[in-house]
A and B are shown apart, each in its own frame.
Chain A
Amino acid sequence: MSETQSLIYLDYSATTPVDPRVAEKMIKFLTPDGVFGNPASRSHAFGWQAEEAVEEARGQVAALINADPKEIVWTSGATESNNLAIKGAAHFNERRGKHIITVKTEHKAVLDTCRQLEREGYEVTYLDPEPNGLLDLAKLEAAMRDDTTVVSVMHVNNEIGVIQDITAIGEMCRARKIMFHVDAAQSAGKVPIDMEAMKVDLMSFSAHKIYGPKGIGALYVRRKPRARIEAQMHGGGHERGMRSGTLPTHQIVGMGEAFRIAKEEMAADNERTRMLRDRMWQGLQDIDEVYLNGDLEQRVAGNLNVSFNFVEGESLMMSLKDLAISSGSACTSASLEPSYVLRALGRNDELSHSSLRFSFGRFTTTEDVDRALASLHKAVDHLRNLSPLWEMHCDGIDLSKIEWAAH
């Protein structure tokens, strides 16, 4: 623990700490003196009480997105929800067609699921976003075919925080009777979601991105008109047959409480994180050759993704020992590849290699931001002094005109 004491946590898009109010509630569903029963036990009060807690949480999750509690299916997290939604809908509609549309900047949980479906004989179109990260709806429309059965577009991008126009895409899909799935892991509790207004058939959620515990998520499955999916996990027929497995009461209660708090505090949280994000961005303006990745307006409040030109991302991270941040997304930060999201935006290699994601949240302070800014200035100075590319840039050499010997 002591190792993290002096670290400034600016990685809320990777995960959030559990809100103490959530943890306090969860602990009541574990121990012998608590409600530890199996929610599926119908023959005694231990089970009934657990079931009641699960249903209360289901209502809390549904309330945040203006849905019916019966439309919420518990899963282990957004990755499982994405798998269940896309494979489930593709398999169920197999006789109608085998074409799926998604976007190159989706999370790996969506992209890799689509790759698996390709191996099963499906055809997948991966759309390029515009340079600001947003999807051109005309390009989406052009990609839709008679045999298209599923469109999957994330609400908020995990790396660059841009918000896609889910309402408009929903209209396009509904008009063509295409199942529309949305990965909302990064948007729930941060961007208003209204299932009455949005024509979304399937939507994935995670608890740990909004101050709930890890290991629990949900899939929204629309009832009217009914979205039908094929189960991917078979067993006791839990969750109306869509996802078998004993319900983890304490996790579910934690997710419910996190979503309840999010509904109450979303406006205030957003105002604070937007202020912190803007303070960070303003504080970087005196550094030359700093680029914002992704649209600034259509963007979630707590995300800032910046490229420091002529500085390599991994060495920059090494200089920022007091900052817990990520270069690219957490799932790719162990690899040496530049961010695939930034590449899909058409960012050049240098900028893709030098991106950092700062994400702010409920427990971030202005002091955190100011300390981060001081570290960043120092690190960028240090590395640019070492950078032959920066030297060439200062000498007025156009780096794109040089023939590099790739290795």
Chain B
Amino acid sequence: MAYSNKVIDHYENPRNVGSFDKSDGQVGTGMVGAPACGDVMKLQIKVGTNGVIEDARFKTYGCGSAIASSSLLTEWVKGKTLDEARSIKNTDIAAELELPPVKIHCSVLAEDAIRAAIDDYQGKQG
């Protein structure tokens, strides 16, 4: 499998690896995928009082493209409002990382992860 240089860079130097406290009211957590499918992605956002994403963290079990997709996404969502973050498309991720067709599902998973994290955060605000 030939990976693009961008995938390799994110894979070797992943950005924003780690975890926030899930129970923190400022934090939204999205965990998507399944071990059976070979990918599990955990994406967390920390949202400021102004509704802007201040910080993000991820951990991903999966192939290099899955790791790169989630790493890239943590960079993209920082500084965005929740609505802006929600509008990120998997096709943008796939295009940026030059993912081959067999790896498109990795970018879909990343899109699912950010939406799940936003939903989780908004659910907490009640």
Contacts and interface: CB of A to CB of B under 8 A. Distances in A.
Given A312-B61, A315-B67, A318-B64, A385 B35 contact: no
B111 to A, nearest CB: 12
Contacts of A1: none
B62 A312 contact: yes
B45 to A, nearest CB: 15
B17 to A, nearest CB: 6
Contacts of B14: 386
Interface string B54-79: 00000111111011000000000000
Interface residues of B, number: 31
Contact of A407 (B3, B17, B34, B59): B34
A405 B34 contact: yes
Interface in A315-368: 315, 318, 334, 336, 338, 348-350, 353
Interface of A: 310-312, 314-315, 318, 334, 336, 338, 348-350, 353, 385-391, 399, 404-407
Closest 7 CB pairs of A and B: A404-B34, A349-B36, A388-B42, A388-B59, A314-B63, A350-B35, A387-B61
A314 B105 CA distance: 15
Interface of B: 1, 3, 11, 14, 17, 19, 31-42, 59-64, 66-67, 102, 105, 108-109, 112
A391 B19 contact: yes
Contacts of A407: 32-34, 37, 39, 105, 108-109, 112
A336 to B, nearest CB: 7
Contact of B33 (A311, A338, A348, A404): A404
Contacts, number: 79
Given A388-B41, A405-B34, 12 more contacts: A312-B38, A312-B61, A312-B63, A312-B66, A314-B63, A314-B64, A349-B38, A386-B59, A387-B61, A388-B40, A388-B59, A407-B32
A327 to B, nearest CB: 11
B1, B11, B38, B62: most-surrounded residue (chain A CB, <10 A): B38
Contacts of B31: 388
A406 B59 contact: no
24 contacts: A310-B61, A311-B61, A312-B38, A312-B63, A312-B66, A314-B63, A318-B3, A334-B1, A336-B38, A349-B35, A386-B61, A387-B60, A387-B61, A388-B40, A388-B59, A388-B60, A389-B40, A391-B59, A404-B33, A405-B32, A405-B34, A406-B34, A407-B105, A407-B109
